Amino acid sequence: MDQYDLVIVGGGISGLTLAARAAYGNRLSILVLEKEQRVGGCLHTWRVEPGFWVELGAHTAYNSYKNLLQVLQERHGLDDLVERRKLGYRYLDGKRLQSPLARLGWFELLLNLPVGLARSRKQGASLADYYGALFGRRNYARLLSPAFAAVLSQPADGFPAQWLFRRKPRMKSAPRKYTWVSGLQGLAEAIAEDASFEVSSGAAVTAVRRVANSYEVTTDGRTLRCRYLAIATPADVAAHLLVQAHPEIATRLSTLPMADIESVAVVVPAERVRLPALAGLIGVNDAFYSVVSRDPLPHPKLRGFTFHFRPRRLDAEGKLDRICEVLGIGPEDIVERREVANRLPAPEVQHVELLAEIDEMIRDKTVFLTGNYFHGLSIGDCADRSTREALRLLKTHKQKEKHHA
């Protein structure tokens, strides 16, 4: 039976950041298990041809993702970061393109903002409650509700306001908005190249058991033993994996809702698209939440667009028709097309307290949880959570080593 100090289930940015943080300057044997044949998780880059790629999952990273950038800087450097050109988003209301300012009611804003700033608090409030009080209910419905849904790729009115737009320190040596030279998945791949831990892709975990003071992890082809276990998967997957080892934690995790997103990316000759250069489109009462463009990374001949569709609204033909209508093209103009199913946590205000309870439950245990369901959905939120869990793990390990000595 193979033995490790730490086994991490999940090779997305959460699992890889945790591995890198736990390994840095320490002599722990660490294995990351990833069920897919690639690492990255929600960092999913479709490499269409040399020099041109389209993102199927997350699209942008920021220099406020300090913990992530520190991991990259320590192991790889920041030379392969590529700055994204600054472009704006437009709302698509039916067939009409609008700027954000065109949808803003200034009188309602001026009427509500002073009172809202004085009385409203993010803590315990939803996006609809907090920003509705600041901007006015009509402004919220016209401007912010579709924008938040586009950012989070799900209905977002009930999302915890305290998790969005938190002020964070920036790493000024990195571009404000960036990707990796080979797309965001390349960022994860760069971390996975770290020789201080091992990564095994195509390794689906089928069972996790608690055995004495360690864990037994079973995959399709091997059984592993580890002192510490980290789960860096979606919450419902984590719940399934922990049913035997920690049933009380699994029960709590299973109550976190998930959102499905049907993402379709297309590549089109640049001269065939009627849309001006833009960062993307925000759907207003549309079949999609957003359309994210590759225009911030211009290519002389091609343009790429990823449509994040609401689940189960349109069949494949309906999606193609809507894509062609929005871009002003015919199906024959599409050079390449790819569709993937994405899943994200869908937390609401009441889940903040639930996650605090889960944190308290694992505080003194040798199981570690990370992912995009703690304190926000962004890449930076994942790296922040993984960094905190890595520090807790190293503190636990130090205490155990001191006790045994």
Domains in the chain with CATH codes: 2-43+65-82+184-257+346-404 (3.50.50.60), 100-163 (no CATH)
Closest CA to 191 of 47, 8, 19: 19
Q: How many helices (H) and strands (E) does the chain have?
A: 12, 19
pLDDT at site 292: 97
- Which residues in 10-115 belong to E strands, given as ranges? 30-34, 45-49, 52-55, 61-62, 81-83, 89-93, 96-98
pLDDT at site 275: 93
- Residue 51 backbone class (left: φ over 0; alpha: ψ -120 to 50; beta: rest): left
Closest CA to 304 of 332, 288, 323: 323
- Give the Å distances, CA to CA, from 243 to 153, 236, 290, 350, 363: 29, 11, 36, 23, 18
- Give the Å distances, CA to CA, from 167 to 109, 170, 283: 23, 9, 27
pLDDT at site 58: 93
pLDDT at site 168: 87
pLDDT at site 354: 95
Cα(56)–Cα(110) distance, integer angstroms:
39
Q: Are 355 and 345 in contact (CB under 8 A)?
A: no
pTM: 0.94
pLDDT at site 1: 66
| Mean pLDDT (10-residue bins), the chain, 405 residues | 93 96 89 96 95 94 95 90 95 94 96 91 95 96 97 96 89 93 95 92 95 92 94 96 96 95 98 94 97 96 98 97 96 97 94 95 96 92 96 92 71
pLDDT at site 195: 83
User: One-letter amino acid identity for 365?
Assistant: K
pLDDT at site 76: 85
pLDDT at site 378: 93
Q: What single DSSP character describes residue 140?
A: I
Let me know the angle formed at the C-alpha of 145 by 41 and 131, rounded to the nearest 5 degrees. 110
- Give the Å distances, CA to CA, from 171 to 21, 119, 168, 175: 18, 33, 10, 8
